[in-house]
Amino acid sequence: MESSEKSALKARDYLYKNGKLFAAAKANRSYLELFLKSKLALLMKDSVESTSAAKETDAKSHPDYIALLYGIKAAIELEETLKWELESAKQTIEIYRTESANNRGIDRAMQ
């Protein structure tokens, strides 16, 4: 088996094994982004401030809200890392396909 064929098979296996990790990372990111709105509402509800703007300011400066923002940052980083690793594996397969097609064309031309 050629090296590029081995790389393509390895990339295919990587896609199969890690697709679920990407899906979970994407779901986690989406959940955290949606939960951020709920967390803001809960923190505003608990605020002792009198105006809506002051409640929002109080809520957005709360350590729980800031921690959630860091969680979203980490979730985005993980999702994007997995996304580009999967994309790299796809490109490895595409390179193999192109090389194979080119080699078949060369073989036909030499006959």
Integer Cα distance of 42 and 47 in angstroms: 9
Q: Answer for the pair 36, 100: CB distance below 8 angstroms, yes or no.
A: no
Question: Looking at residue 44, what is its pLDDT?
Answer: 97
* pLDDT value of position 2: 59
7 or 32: which carries more pLDDT confidence?
A: 32
- The Cα–Cα gap between 77 and 65 comes to 19
- Tokens 């990790």 label which residue? 21
Residue 99 has pLDDT above 80, yes or no: yes
pTM: 0.78
pLDDT at 100 over 90: no
Q: What are phi and psi for residue 48, nearest 5 degrees? A: -90, 0
* pLDDT at position 90: 92
26-85 pLDDT, tens digit each: 999 999 999 999 999 999 999 999 999 999 999 999 999 999 999 999 999 999 999 999
Most confident option among 22-31, 86-95, 99-108: 22-31
